[in-house]
Amino acid sequence: MKLLSKPRWFPLLSTWLLLGVCVTSGQEATPKKPLKVEDLYLFENFRSPVLFPDEDKLVCERVWIDAKTKMDRHALWLLSETRGTRKPLEEGEPDGRSPVISPDGQWIAFLSARPDTFAPFPKAAPKTPPYSDPYVDIWLYHVRSAKVIPLGGPDRPWGRAFHDGFYGRIAFSADSARLVFVADDGADPRTKEEIANDVEIVRPDQGEGYTGYGPAQIWIADLEMQPAHFAARKITRLTNDDVWYGDPHWSPDGKTIVVHANKTKDRESVRFSINKNFDLYLIDLASRKQQQLTTNPGPDVSPRFSPSGKQIAYLSVPRQGSHRDVFHLGVVTLEGGVATSRLIVDRPGQETLIAPGFPLPEDCWENERRFLFRDERGTDSMRLIIDVAQASVSGIAKTKFLKLDQRLRTLLPASDSFLNDRYQAKSEIVRWKNEDLDIQGIFTAPPPESAKPPYKLIVYPHGGPHGRSTLGFDFTVQLFAAHGYAIFQPNFRGSSGYGQKFIDADRFDLGGGDMRDILTGIDKLVKEGKVDPKRQFVYGISYGGFMASWLVGHTQQFRAAVAQNAVTDLNMMWALSDIQSWTHWEFGGYPWEQPERYRQHSPLTHVAKVKTPTLILHAREDRRCPLPMGKAFHQALLANDVPTQMVIYPNEGHGIRQPRHREDIYRRVLAWFEKYDVKSR
């Protein structure tokens, strides 16, 4: 399973741009300090920046941790270089997220988890559990009057607005008069009898992150020209069925909406796992009729209208395969009511030349011929332009996107400026060969002030297995380095960013070739004198937790291990996880069809060989890698007298998000490794 620290998939340019503005250059005269666990509470980011049309002004989302409550805070800020103002949009900084500016510059629409008491017509909000996506509603800031009002009134017909980055999106029509958004209807799926008897029938849902949500539906709001208490004068429900629709985009003429949707009965969670049969659908606003635009058996997602409305760019995977296959670029051409779809730079039977990342930028078209995408290669990402006609790829120099970068860089304040006073460990790409594969990874040496080689080592495998480790600031890596550890992040076979064949290279063999890739990479570091062969540790999350649990059952070279939200038993993974397709694909069938594969590739099967002290960390409400797997592995370690401890984090899903829980994890991992470090005893 792939674990993302921020599924929150930001609007155009924000992710790429903020990588360049996270840390400003500091004064060298200031003595630097090592990074500490409590520095977690000092982070302050400005993300999701959106420029006002034709003005040197933007709105963005400030994210920080409240010192008193130790909880994440979100608020909107207005930034203007020419006016010299950088201030909150609202006094007191109430909750505000993911701003969108209308084309005429008169509205800022945003999401907010603020209490209903802020609304002039409060209505009991449909709740979601704390381990799921939080409940948010849609609010608007009227620029001319500086009034902040909710979109809907006391009888608003929708329930929970989606804000996950796959289904959820709010967007203005080109004339700024209407707003499209995605929300469920807020209905309780239980019958009166179920409610009266306090029982619940198991019903299919979207799993991790979506607990409490009903089907994602498309809604249109017509906005008031002179708003009073709320912004919408009319609400139209564009879809009304049990299908989950997502990522709506307006046609330039405002007559149609394009969405992606899976209309088959074979549905699963899309949180970090996009492999089902999604297609693109064009919805006519006048008639509400839908026209299917693609018929690919795999996912066709992330639709983006061209400036003329005659083309739609999208991402496509040609098959229903692993949870993270290589995306292709596609274009739908609309002529006379007929839709024709085709893939660009497609080489049947060969490796693709590019590896587009999800999603496509919201405003990705430079003109009718060229559009922008993010290419994921190896340990890095870059923005590229694809020429639709010539199927050629180029950089962004001399494009509107570079100019937007420059405007944003001028206006955005620096994030996380406290890092200027902290030592920064340096990372490098390491390369080695195992069997017939060329492997890459990232090696981060501790700052010279913290340790000297050969270093004690933490192996930190990524999740997935079809995730990848990338270059860039990582608090976990930097914190471990500040405590004197070198960190090794191997992109073993199965990792994304290296082509489809590399992704498929570990199918049917999880824990086999990928483990050997990791161990040969460590051998290289030991041979080069960078790593102490007797002071090695392993910490992994999700599939990284699988690998930690697997490694301690197949080698004795680690002094201690930590497995967090780990896959430890494949039969339980199939039966309890929210994505049965993961085990079915990776092992070629159901548990009763491939019982030996499921048994042999489960870390629990090999637990009797474990001698390594192993700490088990698990979120109580994890639906991707459910808690019983952690409990089973912990119980087996106890039965075999292996030093172990298990810590359960309440109200957390697959990604443990609460700052106080993250602090606890960091302290426990460091203490566990210190306890079993050969030189610390």
Q: Quickly state the pLDDT bin for 577 (edges 50, 70, 90).
A: very high
Q: Note the pLDDT of residue 488.
A: 98
User: What is the 8-class DSSP label of residue 638?
Assistant: H
Neighbours of 541 (CB within 10 A): 28
For the residues 41-66, what does the mean pLDDT come to? 93
Q: Note the pLDDT of residue 55.
A: 79
Q: Comparing 566 with 408, which gets the higher pLDDT?
A: 566
Q: Note the pLDDT of residue 83.
A: 54
Q: Note the pLDDT of residue 188.
A: 87
For the residues 167-196, what does the mean pLDDT come to? 95
Phi, psi of 394 (to 5 degrees): -145, 175
Is the pLDDT reported for residue 282 higher than 60?
yes
Using CA of residue 363, residue 366, residue 367, residue 369, what is the dihedral sign?
negative
For the residues 321-337, what does the mean pLDDT come to? 94
Q: Quickly state the pLDDT bin for 1 (edges 50, 70, 90).
A: low
Q: Note the pLDDT of residue 85.
A: 76
Question: Quick one: what percent of the chain has pLDDT higher than 90?
Answer: 82
How far lies 392's CA from each of 113, 180, 358, in Å?
Answer: 44, 33, 20
Question: Quick one: what percent of the chain has pLDDT higher than 70?
Answer: 92
Q: Quickly state the pLDDT bin for 5 (edges 50, 70, 90).
A: very low
Is the pLDDT reported for residue 24 higher than 50?
no
Per this entry, what is the length of the chain? 681
User: What is the 8-class DSSP label of residue 629?
Assistant: H
Among residues 321, 372, 345, the alpha carbon closest in space to that of 500 is found at: 321
Q: Note the pLDDT of residue 9.
A: 32
Is the pLDDT reported for residue 21 higher than 90?
no
Q: Note the pLDDT of residue 17.
A: 31
Query: Which residues have CB under 8 Å from 266's CB, separation 6+?
Result: 276, 277
pLDDT in tens, 478-507: 999 999 999 999 999 999 999 999 999 999
Q: Quickly state the pLDDT bin for 14 (edges 50, 70, 90).
A: very low
Kind of pairing between the strands at 560-564 and 531-541: parallel
Using CA of residue 14, residue 17, residue 23, residue 24, what is the dihedral sign?
negative
Q: Comparing 230 with 550, which gets the higher pLDDT?
A: 550
For the residues 20-40, what does the mean pLDDT come to? 67
The continuous run of DSSP H or E covering 366 comes out as none
Please state, in angstroms and rounded to a whole number, the distance separating the CA atoms of residues 651 and 542: 17
Half-sphere exposure of 244 (CA within 13 A, CB side): 26
Q: Note the pLDDT of residue 11.
A: 33
pLDDT in tens, 99-108: 999 999 999 9
Is the pLDDT reported for residue 287 higher than 90?
yes
Q: Quickly state the pLDDT bin for 120 (edges 50, 70, 90).
A: low
Q: Note the pLDDT of residue 73.
A: 96
Q: Note the pLDDT of residue 418.
A: 93
Strand partners, 506: none
Is the pLDDT reported for residue 346 higher than 80?
no
Q: pTM here?
A: 0.93
Please state, in angstroms and rounded to a whole number, the distance separating the CA atoms of residues 21 and 404: 14
- When the pLDDT of each residue in the chain is averaged and rounded to a whole number, the result is 92
Among residues 227, 51, 55, the alpha carbon closest in space to that of 141 is found at: 227
* Domains located in the chain, CATH noted: 11-17+42-193+216-237 (no CATH), 255-261+268-386 (no CATH), 419-675 (3.40.50.1820)
Q: Note the pLDDT of residue 29.
A: 56
For the residues 136-148, what does the mean pLDDT come to? 93
Is the pLDDT reported for residue 228 higher than 90?
no
SS3 248: strand
Using CA of residue 23, residue 28, residue 34, residue 36, what is the dihedral sign?
negative
Q: Comparing 124 with 410, which gets the higher pLDDT?
A: 410
Determine contact, residues 49/101, Cβ cutoff 8 Å. Answer: no
Question: DSSP labels for 490-553?
Answer: EE-TT-TTS-HHHHHTTTT-TTTHHHHHHHHHHHHHHHTTSEEEEEEEEEEETHHHHHHHHHHT
Please state, in angstroms and rounded to a whole number, the distance separating the CA atoms of residues 480 and 425: 10
Q: Quickly state the pLDDT bin for 226 (edges 50, 70, 90).
A: confident
Tokens of 87: 């201030």
Is the pLDDT reported for residue 8 higher than 90?
no
Tokens of 639: 């039965």
Q: Comparing 283 with 156, which gets the higher pLDDT?
A: 283
Worst-scoring range by mean pLDDT, 5-9, 245-249, 496-500?
5-9
Q: Comparing 353 with 211, which gets the higher pLDDT?
A: 211
Q: Note the pLDDT of residue 12.
A: 31
Is the pLDDT reported for residue 613 higher than 60?
yes
Place of tokens 């198991």: 202
Q: Note the pLDDT of residue 123.
A: 58
Is the pLDDT reported for residue 511 higher than 80?
yes
Q: Note the pLDDT of residue 140.
A: 96
